[in-house]
Structure 1
Amino acid sequence: MSDQADLREAVRVGYAAAALQVSGGGTACCGSGSVEIDEKFGSGLYEETERDALPAEAVAASLGCGNPLAVAELREGERVLDLGSGGGIDVLLSARRVGVSGKAYGLDMTEEMLALALANQRKAGTTNVEFLKGTIEAIPLPAQTIDVVISNCVINLSVDKPAVFAEMYRVLVSGGRIGISDVVAEDRLTPAERAERGDYVGCIAGALSFGEYREGLKAAGFADVEITPTHAVADGMHSAIVRAVKPTTVSGELPLVGQEGAVPSGTSCCG
């Protein structure tokens, strides 16, 4: 396999193992274990009231570096997509915020995580949720059908980040937005120096710098890009909140939910 294929398979194997660990009654570990789940990663980054409202397995499977819902500002009736949805914690919380008139999609490439997420959905009794199998570089949804894209410490794991940014832009409606938590490196660090601080599966080596992230989103067409560090996860590496919008001046695109001519919630396809 190519280096990219090897990395993607390592990510899949690492997170499949995490899902099986949770399904067996344990708590997930991030990647190969080079990053510990402590105050910097995991369910502790969510409010206690949010955790208490969900199945224990969804909370135990949380491997993120932040809480994207804290900045996504989801509204009633919106359609939200979580990239790399894992055990489903952000999807289930999103579904509560957008209400029965909205829809929350979760996308994951790992069969074991999807099985865990579906089990958590059944336990939560949530109906306005759909989990999809696929990669974040090729999102199995039609263009211009999502109002908000969220993701929690997953884009750093991608082997083709420009493709991820392009896909986010494609599925968002005009005026749609992203609210992402991710690991981001200080601009002073080279890729080799990032790799010294942690491995790829452990959410460190694959992280973009602040400048690379900003320019990558702009190259995909996003505007109003904001990247705000929240806490350090390693020397020169930070959990950060990433915000951006798809400009409303894009011609020929669909309006947001609630506007005349909007696409009904529930439009989807499964890869």
Structure 2
Amino acid sequence: MVNNQPDDYNEELEKLEIKLLLDGLYAWYGYDYRNYAYSSIRRRVWHRIHAEKLSSITGLLEKILHDPACLRRLMADFSINVTEMFRDPLFFLTFREQVVPMLRTYPSVRIWLAGCSTGEEVYSMAILLQEEGIYDKTKIYATDINADVLKVAKSGRYSLNQMRKYTNHYFQAGGNESLSDYYSVHGEGVVFNNDLRKNIVFAQHNLVTDKSFNEFHAILCRNVLIYFDKSLQERVHRLFYESLGSLGVLGLGDKEALGYTDIANRYEEIAYNQKLYKKVK
């Protein structure tokens, strides 16, 4: 329920206005949010309406069509940027123990982190691969639709306050060094070492509209698909399937699954209760 709804609130009219807003975004700017989960989009649309001191969805559409700054603010609202280093440590521990031995058998390794947000999981993966001795032969492709969060990811700069929490995650994920060895402290922030960034390619990529750009040994897209409706999830899963090489590994978030898709039988689960799957067909 959205706060401050008018007395004449009409749910069907609201749905029409949101449809027109998303159609306008796509037709005029090429941003396609038409198949994102409706409840999530609705919540963010009303947040932006109140923040802009507007009174209607139609008013927001008018403003974003004529005010690029308002458009950027709405795009930031639509972007899902909740992340942290070694998030769900058991996932990374399983990747270290079950997936890395497979990656060692290849002369070179390509990994795609789709929806990388501000990059904490990208550096987590780089650290893990460096400790396992295969980072030098690996190229990590870190992509996101949001250019602003990619700038943060490229910089490798994060809050010092988060490092204690991240250090605990690091050890739970099988880390065998000291996390502080991988960054330097600058005031209230930290900057991750350049040697972690040397094999990372940061690039803008839209999972909704863009196609595959390489063949990968592993793809991680964690806690992104939960914001898509079923038809869009199916489309993105097809993109990932076509982007994985034979025996490639797909990693999902803990609330995401393959079971409902039409390609579920083309994967095998790598480890019980961890969302890691190997392409077998």
What's the TM-score once normalised by structure 1's chain length? 0.51
Deviation string, structure 1 residues 179-203 (Cα, Å, up to 9, x no partner): 222324xxxxxxxxxxxxxxxxxxx
Q: Please report how far the alpha carbon of residue 67 of structure 1 lies from its aligned counterpart in structure 2 after TM superposition.
A: 6.0
**Runs of 5+ consecutive residues of structure 2 not aligned to the other structure:** 1-17, 23-32, 45-73, 158-190
Match of 1:174 in 2: 246
Deviation string, structure 1 residues 218-252 (Cα, Å, up to 9, x no partner): 526632146855xxxxxxxxxxx3222222x5xxx
Pick one of 209, 220, 225 that aligns with 1:150. 220
Q: Please report how far the alpha carbon of residue 157 of structure 1 lies from its aligned counterpart in structure 2 after TM superposition.
A: 1.8
Deviates more, 1:88-97 or 1:124-133: 88-97
| 2:266 paired with 1:245 | no
The answer as to whether partners of 1:95 and 1:103 remain within 8 angstroms in 2 is no
Q: Please report how far the alpha carbon of residue 83 of structure 1 lies from its aligned counterpart in structure 2 after TM superposition.
A: 1.5
Deviation string, structure 1 residues 129-179 (Cα, Å, up to 9, x no partner): 011211224555435x20001122112123410011101111111111112
| 2:86 paired with 1:13 | no
| 2:252 paired with 1:223 | no
**Structure-2 separation of matches of 1:17 and 1:142:** 23
Structure 2 matches for 1:102-117, cutoff 5 A?
Answer: 102-117=138-153
Deviation string, structure 1 residues 21-80 (Cα, Å, up to 9, x no partner): xxxxxxxxx4xxxxxxxxxxx54x83xxxxxxxxxxxxxxxxx56664333333454211
Which one has a bigger Cα radius of gyration? 2
**Structure-2 separation of matches of 1:71 and 1:14:** 33
Amino acid at match of 2:123: L
Match of 2:185 in 1: none
**Structure-2 separation of matches of 1:226 and 1:215:** 18
**Runs of 5+ consecutive residues of structure 1 not aligned to the other structure:** 19-29, 31-41, 47-63, 185-209, 230-240, 250-271
Percent identity (aligned): 13
**Structure-2 separation of matches of 1:69 and 1:118:** 22
Q: Please report how far the alpha carbon of residue 128 of structure 1 lies from its aligned counterpart in structure 2 after TM superposition.
A: 0.2
**Structure-2 separation of matches of 1:228 and 1:165:** 20
Change in CA separation of 1:106 and 1:246 when aligned onto 2, cut-off 3 Å: same
| 2:156 paired with 1:120 | yes
Structure 2 matches for 1:30-109, cutoff 5 A?
Answer: 30=82, 43=84, 46=86, 68-72=91-95, 73-74=99-100, 75-76=103-104, 77-96=108-127, 97=129, 98-109=134-145
The answer as to whether partners of 2:218 and 2:249 remain within 8 angstroms in 1 is yes
Q: Please report how far the alpha carbon of residue 12 of structure 1 lies from its aligned counterpart in structure 2 after TM superposition.
A: 4.4
Amino acid at match of 1:135: N
User: Which structure shows the bigger proportion of residues in helix conformation?
Assistant: 2
**Structure-2 separation of matches of 1:15 and 1:227:** 33
Change in CA separation of 1:215 and 1:16 when aligned onto 2, cut-off 3 Å: closer
Change in CA separation of 1:179 and 1:70 when aligned onto 2, cut-off 3 Å: farther
The answer as to whether partners of 1:148 and 1:172 remain within 8 angstroms in 2 is yes
| 2:162 paired with 1:129 | no
Match of 1:56 in 2: none
**Structure-2 separation of matches of 1:17 and 1:83:** 12
The alignment of Structure 1 onto Structure 2 pairs a total of residues equal to 168
